[in-house]
Amino acid sequence: MKRSIGMATAGLTLISGLWVRAAEAESAPPPGVASADTLGYIPFDDPKVLALVAKIGAVSPYEVPPLGVKKDENYASTPSDTEPFSGQKPFKENFLEQVEYAGPNRALPEPEVLDTVKIGFLGPIAPTVSVATGGKSHEESLGVPMLQGARLAIEEWNARGGYFKRKIPFELIARNDNGLWGSSGNEIITMAYKDDVWAMLGTIDGANSHIAIRVALKAEVVMMNTGDTDPSFIETNIPWVMRDIADDRQQCYILTDYLYRKLGLKKVGIIRSSNRYGRFGVREIRDGSRRLGRPVPIEMAYKVGTTDFDLELGRLMEAGVEAVVHWGDAPECGLILRQMREKGMKQPFFGCDRCISPEFLEKAGPYAEGATFASPWNPRQGNPRLDRFRHAYHERFGTEAETYAAHAYDGMNMLVWAIQVAGLNRAKIRDVLAYLPRPWPGVTGDIVLSACLDDVGDVFLAKREKGDWSFRSRKDLGIPKGYVPPKDRLNRDFSSANPQAP
């Protein structure tokens, strides 16, 4: 079934009950507004998109669309020799097979009267104090850019016509993620049932995200995560949840491979924050080190906000570690590195993506040189979409775009695109995103969703050298991804694989 509506200027096509807008029928954007090409999204008239929406709209309310079930051979590109069970094939492996949505809500019609299309935002944008955050909240510096990135995406779509089918604007409903489990769940309920949002974006804190996505499951509303890198977030297997940023598991893998396969180290120490972010963040480094026969000899935890790390660094020195890995926020990271060097500790220093920031550089001072951190993307890629986004973001907010702004911008573009394609039906919006026909062309690079809807695209190492950050992929570093043949494991010397590697 395919018929055009009698409105030539709209360029809309109804396919099996779902509205799509043909790219060739789009009117030219107003002056100063990005075109479809530079905004970056999968074309509405892509044959695979048309086939997908046709399948979604061709079934009765009590049938599940024949979309198939995505299956992965390997979870999040785990290197074979760092997988659990010591190389033995378990009876069942989780997170390799997609979870279907089998409910009846694909049959719900669009509301007859609507002034705006609301999309929710949940993130740490105002300071709070709670036990869940370990006292005073500390993630507003991440949440505010995330909100700004999401807002910019909404404004750009509105400048191009808003929700194409009905010519009404999108509206961003922003709520603060204040660190209280019950309160964050209440915010989701408010947005889902009172604000009537069609999808949500957020959040950053791992503990609160776990509460939020369980409420989203009950409310049956899509939640796009763009800031929580907790590996266990996606392991809930909730079909309404997806993430467009590489998690700490994948960041740990590239660090572990680099530390042991490339540098040949044997004793790596860990210092981390004592909250959920630090505890779950280093899990795969700790487990991977043990499975490779080089267990972490010492792991020291500190309270968020600590400024004196004499005890923790003293213990690391006594353990005789060859390198130090830090997992926590940027201010503590900078202080730890500075105090390490002032103590005469010359070990290479590694860490997580949160530390690729001006706050780290301010605290570390001249000692930042040589520090190497995992990164979920390469902000120095030659990507015209990224260049345009950076310019637009700076013009709008007066600051430089960073990780959380860029991933939120990509995530919001994915949500709005799905609404344009699927119409105002939460289940169909979810279907379109869950079965993206190809990687999403984002400003952060190609976003590749796994079977459990986690971004498993490329990750990078960022090294501070000559006063700037340099970013290198696995290919640049000469280390493998995913399955590792026996000859390429620890008994192989990678030191000369790429002389340009850090």
Which two three-digit tokens encode residue 419?
Answer: 């609404």
What is the reported pLDDT for 203? 84
* Highest CATH level, class, for 2-88+114-246+382-447: alpha beta
pLDDT at 205 over 60: yes
Per residue, the 3-state secondary structure of 331-362, as one string, reads: HHHHHHHHHHHHCCCCCCEEECHHHCCHHHHH
Q: Are 165 and 12 in contact (CB under 8 A)?
A: yes
Nearest to 292 by CA among 90, 87, 456: 87
Q: Say which residue, 33 or 71, is predicted with more confidence.
A: 71
Contact between 78 and 257 under an 8 Å Cβ cutoff? The reply is no
Top-confidence residue, 432 or 491:
432
What pLDDT, on a 0 to 100 scale, did the predictor assign at position 88?
Answer: 75
Closest CA to 204 of 230, 232, 231: 230
* Contact of 216 with 188, CB cutoff 8 Å: yes
For residue 180, what pLDDT band results from cuts at 50, 70 and 90? low
- Comparing 3-7, 97-101, 442-446, the range with the smallest average pLDDT is 3-7
> What whole-number percentage of the chain has pLDDT above 70?
85
Sign of the four-CA dihedral 232, 374, 340, 469: negative
Q: What is the mean pLDDT of residues 440-469?
A: 95
pLDDT tens digits, one per residue of 18-33: 443 333 233 334 444 4
pLDDT at residue 181, as a whole number: 58
pLDDT of residue 492: 45
Of the listed ranges 56-60, 344-348, 364-368, 404-408, the least confidently predicted one is 56-60
pLDDT score at 499: 36
Q: Coil, helix or strand for 236?
A: helix
Q: What is the pLDDT of residues 298-343, one digit of tens each?
A: 999 999 999 999 999 999 999 999 999 999 999 999 999 999 999 9
pLDDT, one tens digit per residue, over 243-268 is: 999 999 999 999 999 999 999 999 99
Is the pLDDT higher at 195 or at 17? 195
Domain ranges across the chain: 2-88+114-246+382-447, 249-375+466-488
- If you average pLDDT over residues 28-41, what whole number do you get? 53
pLDDT of 86 reads 64
- pLDDT averaged over every residue in the chain: 86
pLDDT tens column, 135-151: 666 678 888 999 999 99
> Superfamily assignment of 249-375+466-488 in CATH?
Response regulator (3.40.50.2300)
Q: Do domains 2-88+114-246+382-447 and 249-375+466-488 have the same CATH topology?
A: yes
Is there a contact between 270 and 285 (Cβ–Cβ < 8 Å)?
yes
